[in-house]
Amino acid sequence: MLEMRPVCEHCNKALLPESDEAMICAYECTFCKTCVETVLNHECPNCGGTFEKRPVKKTTS
Ligand SMILES: [Zn+2]
Ligand SMILES: [Zn+2]
């Protein structure tokens, strides 16, 4: 089950399900776009994975 973490693991910035600033690594570590680009240099500090944009939660199904 995919758990949507509500905050950046680095700076604790709030990342709402509809946020377009949320990035996840291959193992679902969650960070904000700012940390990924400026602090983490696009590499996950936990598992070395690369990041992609977390899908924005859609209200329509
Ligand atoms: Zn952050
Ligand atoms: Zn990771």
Residue 60: pLDDT band by 50, 70, 90 thresholds? low
Q: Is residue 20 part of a domain?
A: yes
23 C-alpha vs ligand 2 centroid, how far in Å?
10
Does 35 reside within a domain? Answer: yes
Q: What is the per-residue pLDDT across 7-53, written as a single tens digit (0 to 9) for each?
A: 999 999 999 999 999 999 999 999 999 999 999 999 999 999 999 99
Report CA(14)–ligand 1 centroid distance (Å): 9
Residue 36 lies in a domain: yes
How remote is the CA of residue 34 from the centroid of ligand 1, in Å? 6
Q: Which domain holds residue 15?
A: 1-50
Residue at 59 is within a domain: no
Residue 41 lies in a domain: yes
| Number of DSSP helices (H) and strands (E) in the chain, helices first | 1, 3
Number of domains in the chain: 1
Does 58 reside within a domain?
no
Residue 22 belongs to a domain: yes
